C-alpha cells in the first residue's frame, strides 16, 4: 500500500487538479519503478513533504538515488528544465526524468544533512556562495517564465483576500512594489526563488548541493528573500543589519533586497494577515 505523507495529502485537498494527481500517484510510482528498475524506501515525511512525493531509491545497478513526483504547483513548473540547465552546478544532478508524470530521479546526497543544522550566520555564507553560482542568463529561447508571472499570480490571490487584510495601506504599497520590482531587466538571471537552508544538503561530490529550485528569470535581489524570511528572529530583531550583511555577501544592493522583503511581507498571499509578516513590513516601511 502506498504511503502518502499527511502534509502532501492536505496540500492536495480541495484542488481538483491536485486531487486527480494524488489518485493517479500509486500507478505512476509503479510505472516508474518498472521503467527505471527501482526499489523504493518509505517516502520522506516531514515539514518539507508538502509539494511532492519523495523517496530514496535503489537502482538496478545498486546505486542510490531519490525519486520525486511533484504535485501540480505553479511555482515549480519548470524544475526539470532548471536542473538540466544548471547540470549539477551547484544543484543535485538529474539522472532520469519523465515530464508527463512530473517525475525526477535525482542524485542521492550523502550524508544529506540539511544546512539548517548550522548556525544562521554560517548559513548566510553558504547560501550566498550557492546563489552567486546559480545566477546565469539562460540563452534565448528558453522555457523559463519571468518573475513577474509569479508576482502577478500572488497579486491576484492577495486582492481576492482584501477583506482580511490587516493593514490595507501597507498591503496596497506592497502590491505596487511587487509589480515595480518584478519588471524585466537586461540584467535578469535564472533564479532559484526558494533557496533556504532546508533546500541545501551536505553531499560528497560537493560540500553542499541545492535541491527543489522553483525557477523564474528575474532580479537577483529577489533570491535573497527566502533565506532571510527563514531567519525570522534576526529579521524581526534587526532587519536592516541582517539584510545588509546578506546583501554584502551576495554582492548586491541591500536597498533592493529591503524593498523586496517589504513587498513580500506586506503583500504576499497568506492564510492569516495579522501575523509576523505584517510586523516585519511595518519595521521595513
The predicted-structure confidence for 127-162, as pLDDT tens digits, reads as follows: 999 999 999 999 999 999 999 999 999 999 999 999
- Residue 75: the pLDDT is 94
- Residue 164: the pLDDT is 95
Give the up-direction half-sphere exposure of residue 58: CA atoms within 13 A in the CB hemisphere.
Answer: 5
Q: How many CB atoms neighbour CB 182 within 10 A?
A: 24
253 catalytic per annotation: no
- Residue 272: the pLDDT is 87
Q: Which H or E run includes 176?
A: helix 168-181
- Residue 47: the pLDDT is 63
Report residue 75 as a C-alpha cell: 511555482
Q: Is the bond preceding 90 in cis, omega lying within 30 degrees of 0? A: yes
Report residue 154 as a C-alpha cell: 500572488
Domain with CATH 3.30.200.20 in the chain: 6-107
Of 188, 194, 212, 223, catalytic: 194
Domain with CATH 3.90.1200.10 in the chain: 115-284
Largest CA distance in the chain: 60
* Positions of the chain with pLDDT lower than 50, given as ranges: none
- CATH 3.40.50.720, domain 115-284, yes or no: no
Domain 6-107: give its CATH code: 3.30.200.20
Contacts of 120 (CB under 8 A, 6+ apart): 197, 231, 234
Amino acid at each position: 500500500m502506498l504511503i502518502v505523507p499527511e502534509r502532501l495529502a492536505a496540500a492536495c485537498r480541495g484542488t481538483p487538479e491536485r486531487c486527480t494527481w494524488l489518485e493517479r500517484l500509486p500507478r505512476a510510482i509503479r510505472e516508474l519503478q518498472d521503467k527505471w528498475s527501482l526499489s523504493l524506501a518509505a517516502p520522506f515525511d516531514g515539514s518539507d513533504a508538502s509539494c511532492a512525493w519523495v523517496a530514496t531509491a535503489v537502482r538496478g545497478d545498486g546505486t542510490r538515488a531519490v525519486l520525486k513526483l511533484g504535485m501540480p504547483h505553479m511555482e515549480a513548473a519548470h524544475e526539470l528544465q532548471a536542473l538540466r540547465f544548471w547540470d549539477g552546478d551547484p544543484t543535485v544532478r538529474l539522472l532520469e526524468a519523465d515530464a508527463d508524470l512530473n517525475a525526477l530521479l535525482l542524485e542521492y546526497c550523502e550524508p544529506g544533512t540539511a544546512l539548517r543544522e548550522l548556525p544562521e550566520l554560517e548559513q548566510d555564507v553558504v547560501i550566498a556562495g550557492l546563489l552567486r553560482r546559480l545566477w546565469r542568463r539562460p540563452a534565448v529561447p528558453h522555457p523559463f517564465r519571468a518573475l513577474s508571472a509569479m508576482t502577478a499570480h500572488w497579486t491576484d490571490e492577495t486582492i481576492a483576500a482584501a477583506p482580511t487584510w490587516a493593514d490595507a495601506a501597507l498591503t496596497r504599497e506592497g502590491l505596487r512594489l511587487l509589480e515595480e520590482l518584478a519588471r524585466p531587466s537586461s540584467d535578469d538571471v535564472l533564479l532559484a526563488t526558494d533557496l533556504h537552508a532546508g533546500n541545501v544538503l551536505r553531499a560528497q561530490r560537493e560540500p553542499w548541493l541545492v535541491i527543489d529550485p522553483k525557477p523564474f528569470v528575474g532580479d537577483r535581489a529577489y533570491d535573497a528573500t527566502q533565506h532571510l524570511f527563514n531567519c525570522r528572529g534576526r529579521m524581526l530583531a534587526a532587519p536592516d543589519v541582517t539584510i545588509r550583511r546578506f546583501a554584502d555577501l551576495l554582492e548586491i544592493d541591500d536597498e533592493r533586497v529591503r524593498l523586496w522583503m517589504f513587498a513580500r511581507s506586506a503583500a504576499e498571499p497568506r492564510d492569516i494577515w495579522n501575523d509576523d509578516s505584517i510586523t516585519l513590513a511595518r519595521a521595513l516601511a
